[in-house]
Structure 1
Amino acid sequence: MALFYLLCCSRSDAINQHVHGIRHNGCFIKNAGSKAVQGITKSVRASARENGNGRLSDYESKLDDFYVNSRILFLNGELDDGVAYRLISSILRMKEADPNAAIKFYINSPGGSVSSGMAIYDILQSLNMPVETICLGQAASMGAFLLAAGTKGMRFAMPNSRIMIHQPLGGAHGQVSDIEIQANEILRIRQILNAHLSHFTGQPVEKIEKDCDRDYYMPPAEAIEYGLIDRICKTKTSDIPIAPIPPIS
C-alpha cells in the first residue's frame, strides 16, 4: 500500500512543516500508518481552538455565530480537512438563513490540501449566493485558487498582499505500481486546477501550465492584469510609492 498526499501550498511553507519523514519535492512524507501532513491551522473563523471534548468554547461558538450571522468566512492559515469542515458548515448555515444573499470570504492562507479546497469550491459553486473574496496578507496556491473562484467583479486584494500560483505538490511511498497510480492522479488533479484557473482568469491553459511550473508570485496590480482578482482595496497608505526592484544579475 502506498502512502500518498497531495498539497497545494507554497514550497517554503511545506518545508517548514515539522513532520518526520522523507522530504520529496519540497514536502514531507510521513511513515505509513500516520497522517501525511500535520496541518498548522489557526483561524479566527475557520480553525478555532477546541476544548478537551472536541467542542468549541462558549466564546468561540459566539464568534462563530457572529461570523455566520454577518455572512463572513475567514480562512486564516493552512487549509486542511478540519478547516474545510468548519467553513462548509458555516456556508450551509448561511444558505439556510438566506440562499441568495452574498458572502464575504476573507483569505490569508499559504494553501494546503487540494481535496479540502475543492470541497469548499464545489459547495460554493452549487449555491446561488454571490461570493466576494478578499485577500489579506497572502493567497497562495489553493488560497489563490479560492480567491480567483469568487464571483467576477467581486474579487479583491489588499494593497500589500501577495498572490501565488503553482502546480500541486505530492508525494508517494510504497510499491512502484502504487506510486505510478498516485503520479497519474497528481497529473489529473493538475489538469483540473489548470482548467479552472484558465476559466477564472481568461488565460489560455497553456500559459497557466507554464506559469504554474514554479512558484509564481504576483502583487495585486499584476494579479488584476492576470485575471485572478478584479480590484485593489483602498487603505490610508495604499498610495505610498514603492520603488521597483532591480533585476538580480
Structure 2
Amino acid sequence: MKGSAMTRGSSGAAWGRSATMATRQSRAAPTRGVRRRPALVARAHSASESLWVPPGLDLPNLRHELQRETTTMNSGAPASVSSGGYDEHRAKTPPPDLPSILLDARIVWLGMPIVSAVSELLIAQLLYLQYKEPGKDIYMYINSTGTCRADGSVVGYETEATAIYDTMNYVSSDIATINVGVAIGNSCMILAAGAKGKRAMLPNATAMLHQPRIPATGSRQAIEIAIKNREVQAQKNDMLGILSKHTGHSVEKLNADMQRPLYMQPKDALDYGIVDSVVESKRVENLIGDVKAAKQWDTEAGLVAK
C-alpha cells in the first residue's frame, strides 16, 4: 500500500515536470505558417534599409521625400540654407591687397618712420618698378617722421634714408614726391630729392628739417664717443650736400638754418626749394597722370565679370 502510494506520487511529479517543459518550449518555438499583421505605424529604418510604408497606402511623393530626408540626416551632411544679405553678394575671389594695388599703379608709400624694414621694402619696390617699365614715372607719397618718432625718439639710422636716396638716383625713372602729411628730417630730404618739377605738398602738410640724431646706446668709452661723433658729422655733411643740390641753398645757409628744427608750411617749403608746387586735393590725379577707375580695378581683380 505504502509502495503503491509512492509510485503514484513519483508518476504525478514526473508528469507535472513534463507538462511544464512542454509549455515553455511551445512558447519559445516560432510560429510557423502564421502571418502576422503588420503594424499600422510608418517607421524609418536604418540607412541600409528602405523606408517601410503600410501596404495599400500609395504615397510615392511622400515616400521619396521621406527617404531623401532620412538619407541626408544619416549622412551627416549639413542642410543647405540660402542666406541673404551681405554674404549673397560677396566676391567669389578675395580682392588683392592694397600695397599690391598701389604698386601696380607705380605708387610707393612711405608712411612710417624710416627703419631697416621700411627702407628695404621701398628699395625693393623702386628696383621692381625700374625693371618692370624703365623710364616710366614713379610716385612716392610721404607721411613720415624720418628716423625718429613724433616725440623725437630715435628709431632708425641715417644710413637707411641715404640708401633710399641713392636708389632713387640709381633708377632711370623720374620719381615724383608728394607730401600728404608730414615730412620730417630725412623724410624731408627724400621729399626734396624728387624729380624737378614733380615735388609737391598738399595744402595742410608740414615739412621740417633737423640735424642728424643717433639712438641712445648706454655708456661708452671716450674713444667710442669720438668715433661716433666723426660718423655723425659725416652723415650731417652728406645730408647738407644732398639738400644743397636739390634746394639750391649753400651748405653754410642750410647748416645755420638747421641749428634748430626748421618747420615749413607748404608756402614756406615752396619758397625754400623743398617742393615745386602746392596742389589741392582734387588736383592730385592730374599730378600723377592716368589713374584707373574703380570699375577697372574691380574688373582686373576678378570682382566683376569682364
Q: TM over 0.5: same fold?
A: yes
Q: Which has the higher strand share?
A: 1
Out of 264, 274, 284, the position equivalent to 1:228 is 274
How much is the aligned-residue C-alpha RMSD, in angstroms? 1.8
Unaligned runs of 5+ in 1: 1-58, 237-249
Matched, 1:147 2:191: yes
Q: Using a 3 Å threshold, how does the CA distance of structure 1 residues 70 and 210 change in structure 2: closer, same or farther?
A: same
How far apart are 1:96 and its partner, in Å?
1.7
Matched, 1:90 2:125: yes
How far apart are 1:208 and its partner, in Å?
0.2
Q: Using a 3 Å threshold, how does the CA distance of structure 1 residues 154 and 210 change in structure 2: closer, same or farther?
A: same
Q: How many positions carry a matched residue from both structures?
A: 179
Determine helix, strand or coil for the equivalent of 2:97. helix
Q: d(CA) in 1 for partners of 2:280 and 2:223? A: 53
How far apart are 1:64 and its partner, in Å?
2.7
Out of 202, 206, 222, the position equivalent to 1:176 is 222
CA contact (8 A) 2:200 2:278 kept: yes
Q: Per-residue CA shift, 1:55-90, capped at 9, x if unaligned?
A: xxxx89732321221100011121100001111111
Matched, 1:197 2:243: yes
Tell me which amino acid in the other structure corresponds to 1:99.
P
CA contact (8 A) 2:126 2:171 kept: no
Matched, 1:103 2:147: no
Partner of 1:5: none
CA contact (8 A) 2:193 2:246 kept: yes
Tell me which amino acid in the other structure corresponds to 2:100.
D
How far apart are 1:216 and its partner, in Å?
0.4
Q: d(CA) in 2 for partners of 1:168 and 1:228? A: 18
CA contact (8 A) 1:104 1:133 kept: yes
Q: Per-residue CA shift, 1:13-48, capped at 9, x if unaligned?
A: xxxxxxxxxxxxxxxxxxxxxxxxxxxxxxxxxxxx
Give the TM-score, by structure 1 length. 0.69
Q: Which has the higher contact order (CA 8 A, sep 6+)?
A: 1
Higher Cα radius of gyration: 2
Q: Using a 3 Å threshold, how does the CA distance of structure 1 residues 60 and 151 change in structure 2: closer, same or farther?
A: farther
CA contact (8 A) 1:68 1:93 kept: no
Q: Per-residue CA shift, 1:129-160, capped at 9, x if unaligned?
A: 00000001110101100000000110000000
Tell me which amino acid in the other structure corresponds to 1:205.
V
Partner of 1:246: none
CA contact (8 A) 1:148 1:200 kept: yes
How far apart are 1:235 and its partner, in Å?
3.5
Partner of 2:110: 75
Q: Which has the higher helix share?
A: 2
Give the TM-score, by structure 2 length. 0.56
Q: d(CA) in 2 for partners of 1:94 and 1:188? A: 31
Partner of 2:58: none
111-120 vs 144-153, greater mean Cα deviation: 111-120
How far apart are 1:102 and its partner, in Å?
0.3
Tell me which amino acid in the other structure corresponds to 1:120.
I
Partner of 1:63: 98
Q: d(CA) in 1 for partners of 2:101 and 2:125? A: 11
Unaligned runs of 5+ in 2: 1-93, 148-155, 283-306
